[in-house]
Every structure is written in C-alpha cells, then in structure tokens.
Structure 1
Amino acid sequence: MNENINTTEIMELIKGLVTIPSPSGNTDRVISHVDEFFTKLGIETTRNHKGGLLITLPGKNNEQHRFLTAHVDTLGAMVKEIKPNGRLKLSMIGGFRWNHVEGEYCEIETSQNETFTGTILMHQTSVHVYKDSGEAKRDENNIEVRLDERVSSADDVKKLGISVGDFVSFDPRVEMTKSGFIKSRHLDDKASVALLMHVVKQLKEEGIELPHTTHFLISNNEEIGYGGNSNIPVETEEYLAVDMGAIGDGQSTDEYTVSICAKDSSGPYHLGLRKHLENLAKQNQIQYQMDIYPYYGSDASAAIRAGFDVKHGLIGPGIDASHAFERTHETSLLHTGRLIYHYLRSEMNS
C-alpha cells in the first residue's frame, strides 16, 4: 500500500528545489517557490521574521499539536576577499569540506541582484606550473573562484559590482537515473522539503482531516544551527524534523529505506516518539533503519536546546555522501513519504 506516494512527482519537486540557489542567509527565492506551491493548493501561509515559511493544517484535536520541519537552506559560501589577481577567496556557509567543492561550477549573486558564474579551483591547479598541485592543502587560503569574466585585478572585479559579502552557490548538477536514483547537491534537505510538499498535497486532495492540528515549518537557517527553534505554538507536544539519514562506515542507514534517528550529537531523541515511529513502520510494512548519527544536529535538537518542552524526533531518506555530491533512491523517498503520511494520520501517544 503506497498511500498515493508518487516518487516521480517527488523527484520532480526535488529537481525544482535544488535548481534554485539558496545558501543559508539567501533563501527568499526558494521560500517563495514553496509558498507558491502551497498557495495554489488553497493553503494559507505565513512567513516568520527569519524568512521561514509556516503553514497549519487544522485537526480534530486542537489542544495537542504537532510540528514538522524540513529545511530549504543549503551549504554555500560568501565572497571573503577579492584578490589582486581578480580571483575570489571564500568564506564557508555550513559545514562542508573544501575538497568537496573543488572543481565545482558556482554562481555569485551581488547585492544588486546581478549574477556571475565561475569555477571553484585550487590556486595551484595547473600541474604544469605547480609542483605541489596534488599535495597542497585544500583550505580557504588555496581555494579560490575563477570568474567567467575578463578580469585581472581587484578593480576589474569591483567594477562588475562584486563585493565582499556576496553569496556564492554551488551548481547542483541534478540528474535522475533509469535505475531510480536522484543525485544532486543539496538533497540535504530539499529532498525532505519535497516530501512534505507532496504529502500535504495528497492529504489536501484526499480531503483528510488530521487527528491533531499540525504545523509545518520550511526552515531556512538549519545549516547554521537555528532554523527551527522558534514559532513553535505552546500547544505543540511533538516535534518531528524531516531531514536526512547519513550513510557511511558503521551506519545502518542506506539509500533504499527511511532512517529513524535514535541519537545524534545532541543526545538521544524522545524514546516514546521514536517507538511510535518504529511501530508505524512495522504496522504498515514500511522499510526502515534505526541509526545514530555521531556528527549531526537537526532543527528538532535546536528546538530542545532553545528550551521548548516537546517530544522530539528525526527521520529522513538515506542520503549518500552528505555535504558533498549527494544521492538517494526513489525507494527511500517512497518509504519516507509513507512514514510521514501514517504519522500525520496517527493518534498521538499520551
């Protein structure tokens, strides 16, 4: 039973999201894109002062609320310095490694909303010139942006309107394969944003009234640690972050199931809510993995740190090569979508 979860539609939603640049701090375009999606469904939306998007689906029980988040902000960078040779030094936005963006195409957006393209390269790239090209450290001192403009000095660059503080976004290079994979930058967490969009659409089209009033926050500062730690109504008892499952040595998570997080760097997630999610998966033949993420934090854990008295949980599709060139499979999207659907339709555990 697939509950009308359409992975083809979800992947198209993901493609639309990842192609809109949205590094943390510069997310208005993608938030507007999601806003338009919900508005067309006849769902009222609001924005918080941080720029995140809020929607509410009324439920039968208006005393015990649920709150779900997925974040639309991504990794990226800012122009840190314009070098004398016309290249750009970068300052990271979010926790990636420099070697994961070396050789990537990028886009620079100026404060006047002009855009320029470039390539992120090592200063010592040419093996014909630099003997230590392969050994030089990949860091903020050696990584630079080569602009696709005829510039050879800092003044040339400044005349284009490029300045310190301009946002730099990475080319997602999104691709869907015949074997059912979608690979792209920024599946963390635009895959989960697409899942929430799709499930809400299904509920709306089916005319289903949820058992509990449920709020959805499309947050826009998760990658820098504080996306979903506000705008949580006092009636909220359960807070579920829909993010990603991290894959690697020692991890249970894979690209074909939904990942349920038992613990991350912030500590254990709420045991009662975790068991409820696991039982829903078992009851509905949803394939899942239980996992621990050692170097991870979510919007839900940010809410706990901010002092909110909620039961917090974390689920998501399994994403390979997180914070680099990511990939997941349609079956992981299917099982994650099904778990979200059944969770929203379930009665809250007391």
Structure 2
Amino acid sequence: MTETPPLTIDVDYLQDQLKALLEIASPTGFTDNVVRYVCQQLDALDIPFELTRRGAIRARFAGRERAGARAFVSHVDTLGAQVKQLKPNGRLGLVPIGTWSARFAEGARATILARNGAYRGTILPPKASGHSFGDEVDEAPIGWDHVELRVDAFAHDEALLRRLGIEIGDIVAIDPQPEFLDNGFIVSRHLDNKAGVAVMLAALKALVERGKEPPVDLFWLFTIAEEVGQGAAAVLLPDIASMVAVDNGTSAPGQNSSEFGVTICMGDQTGPFDYHLTNKMVDLCGLHDIKFQKDVFRFYRSDSASAIEAGADVRTALITFGVDASHGYERIHLHALRSLSELLTVYGLSDVDIERDKKIMAGLRGFTSQPEDLAQQELLTVPVEDPIIGDAGK
C-alpha cells in the first residue's frame, strides 16, 4: 500500500472561507445566496459542478476511475426561525427552523427576510425589562411560545406589520456574531455547518494545488436542508460507493468529542456507521499522526442519514470537529478544522481497499469480512497467596 502524507492546508484560506460563509444568511429554505457563493469558490478552483433543482451542489474532482467513487458531504443550511404569528402588539411569534432551544434565541439579533425586503429585529421574552417586571423576568418559562421578535420598524400592531410587508411564513435569519481569537478558538452561531463547508473547500484547494490524481473520482457534495433532515439523498450517484460526512461533533460532559483533532463518530441515532469505512478513517489518522478520538452521538443525525433511509447502498462515515454548545453559542478550534482537512486529503488519495465496491451488485468474491476471533491476551500471573484467588490459583 502506498499512502500520501497529509497535504499542507492553507489555514488562512480556511479561516477566510469560514468568515465569508458566516456573513451569508442561509437558514434552511433560504440558501440560494450561499449556494451561489460556494459555486463561485468551485469556479475559482476550476472544479466542475452541477446543481439540483433546489440548489444542492455536486462537484467532481476527477480520478483515474469513475466506478467506486468517493464523496464528501457537508451542508450549507443553518438553523433559523419562521414567522408563525403577527401579534396584536406588533411583534412576531416564531417557530424554529431545525432543532434548537428558545433558550439560545433570547436576546439574538435577527433579520426578517420578507419578500419585499429585509427588516432587523431582536428576539425577546414578552417580559424583557427588569425595570417593568422585576423578578418576573427571571421566572418566565423557556420555549418558543414564550419569545417574540421585536421588529426595528414602526410596527405597533398587526396592521402596521402587514403594511411593512411582513407575512406569516417569512424566514428569520439569526445573526452569527462570530469571533476569531488569536489563540485559535472560534466562537459563533452556525459553525454547524459553515465550518464543515470551509474544511471541504480547504481540502479541495490542497488537492488541486498538489495536482495528484486520486485513484477514483472524488465528489464534493454541499446540501441545503440537513437541519430539517433532508440531507444528501438528492445528490448521490450510483457510482459513489462511499460517503464521508463532515459535520460538528458534540463536545459535552459524557461525550468523548474534543475541540482538538478529529472526532470520528462511530454511531448516531440512526445506528452504527459503516464498519470498514469508519475504521479506515481511524487507521489513516494513526498512520499519519492526525490527532483523533472516537465518540457516539445519541441525539444526532447527519447528511448521510437521509441517504441511507432513502435506500442508498453507500458506505458512510462521519468525521467531525468538536463543538462546544452545539446549536447554541458554538465554539470550535482551528486545530480541529485543519486536522479534518488533512484527513480528507489523505483519504481522497489513499488506495482503494475494497475493489468489489466498484460494482453495484456482485457475488461473494471479494466481499468483506469482520474479525470475531477471541483476542489474544497475555497470561496474568497472580501469586497463589492472593487473598482473592486463594487455593484456586494453584
């Protein structure tokens, strides 16, 4: 086996891409502008691409063979909200886009994306002033029924909201409020999954500049509705034998994810990821000295879930950058983003291990196997006088 070492990642490019992506509002359902931006970056790298009707992107980096192709996938859509009600007090009732707590919506600055133009506003509880309500501010319940969006316009009642052109169903984008710190930490909303998109672009740039042909085609997929469960099903091709999702890991108490290195997800709420592809990620990290850890995510699904549920016969793996406070005020570290980009390059250029995967259907010849023999253990010698074992040790 010949393995190419990790390619040099342009970290400045990676950060610049993340900054630019965070500036583009893209809650699920409002992704045209960010799709256009990603396509511009692919054009700049001279990578051909095509779009689905709604805007999911499939770009192709040509390899020596087309069959048995590999794919990477991340999503450009983010969490957000939608106008549910024009309230008599001139404020807006909301429902979430994606799964996130109203706890993290309180105090957020936001943009109402009305059809005739955008309006700014702030998400607040109905009792937002301590001067007016005293301790009642702290006693208010948490939930989307207990927040409202105050519009920064002359809108004191429902009729004035309608005059502004604000309607039920309008999408609301939440400000990311990013901070890029000198110590490598990045704090922002929507790092899930703008950071994954930036990681993929940085890895693709490194591969283009290296100029080495991968063994099989590499497809770079960017989806537009992962936060509402629609994922990668629409952009897969029959030639794609394996797909690696790039997304956020859940750094929290009780989890093994980290904000440093690669966190390899072994399974999420949809079940275990592909045994062979996932272990290849582990082996590549070990071979190339890429820091990594494994984790299992209990309340989580990624782009690959919709593809598998739709019946796609594709091997899947999930590699992640650990995020603290995911779907809230998120924090990551640049070390994880660079590590992920490095892993994408070594996987993309690595040898094909399962030649049979080039065929959609085949016989048993070349089919994989999994170890089940008992592990060999060193004999533990225990003194016969050990009080726990006693005479049984003789």
**Whole-Å separation in 1 of the counterparts to 2:312 and 2:148:** 41
CA shift, 1:276, in A, is: 0.5
- Residue 118 in structure 1 maps to residue 121 in structure 2: yes
CA shift, 1:61, in A, is: 2.0
CA shift, 1:37, in A, is: 0.6
Partner residue in 2 for 1:228 = 232
Partner residue in 2 for 1:320 = 324
- Residue 38 in structure 1 maps to residue 42 in structure 2: yes
**Whole-Å separation in 2 of the counterparts to 1:12 and 1:58:** 26
CA shift, 1:197, in A, is: 0.8
Report the RMSD for the aligned CA atoms in angstroms.
1.2
Partner residue in 1 for 2:200 = 196
1:207 to 211, 223, 245: 211
**Whole-Å separation in 1 of the counterparts to 2:163 and 2:212:** 56
- Residue 21 in structure 1 maps to residue 25 in structure 2: yes
Residue 121 of structure 1 aligns to which amino acid in structure 2? L
**Whole-Å separation in 2 of the counterparts to 1:212 and 1:250:** 39
* Misfit runs of 4+, over 3 Å: none
The residue matched to 1:120 in structure 2 has which SS?
strand
CA shift, 1:66, in A, is: 1.0
- Residue 164 in structure 1 maps to residue 168 in structure 2: yes
Partner residue in 2 for 1:127 = 130
Greater CA drift, 27-36 or 51-60: 51-60
Partner residue in 1 for 2:337 = 333
Partner residue in 2 for 1:251 = 255
What are the ranges of 5 or more consecutive residues in structure 1 without an aligned counterpart? Answer: none
Residue 219 of structure 1 aligns to which amino acid in structure 2? T
Partner residue in 2 for 1:56 = 60
Partner residue in 1 for 2:363 = none
Contact 1:7 1:334 in 2 (8 A): yes
The residue matched to 2:64 in structure 1 has which SS?
strand
1:85 to 89, 113, 117: 89
The residue matched to 1:259 in structure 2 has which SS?
strand
Contact 2:259 2:321 in 1 (8 A): yes
The residue matched to 1:254 in structure 2 has which SS?
coil
**Whole-Å separation in 2 of the counterparts to 1:315 and 1:2:** 16
**Whole-Å separation in 2 of the counterparts to 1:144 and 1:2:** 48
Partner residue in 1 for 2:100 = 96
TM-superposition CA deviations, 1:305-347 (whole Å, max 9, x none): 1111111100021111100011111111111111111111112
CA shift, 1:2, in A, is: 5.7
TM-superposition CA deviations, 1:191-222 (whole Å, max 9, x none): 01001111111111221211111211100100
- Residue 185 in structure 1 maps to residue 189 in structure 2: yes
**Whole-Å separation in 2 of the counterparts to 1:3 and 1:233:** 27
**Whole-Å separation in 2 of the counterparts to 1:317 and 1:348:** 25
User: How many residues align structurally?
Assistant: 349
Contact 2:231 2:304 in 1 (8 A): no
Contact 1:212 1:347 in 2 (8 A): no
Q: TM-score, normalised by structure 2?
A: 0.87
Report which of the two structures shows the higher radius of gyration computed on alpha carbons: 2
**Whole-Å separation in 2 of the counterparts to 1:144 and 1:242:** 34
Q: TM-score, normalised by structure 1?
A: 0.97
1:218 to 222, 238, 244: 222
What are the ranges of 5 or more consecutive residues in structure 2 without an aligned counterpart? Answer: 355-394
2:146 to 130, 142, 149: 142
Partner residue in 2 for 1:308 = 312
CA shift, 1:8, in A, is: 2.5
1:263 to 249, 264, 267: 267
The residue matched to 2:53 in structure 1 has which SS?
coil
1:347 to 351, 362, 367: 351
**Whole-Å separation in 1 of the counterparts to 2:101 and 2:353:** 41
- Residue 238 in structure 1 maps to residue 239 in structure 2: no
Residue 125 of structure 1 aligns to which amino acid in structure 2? A
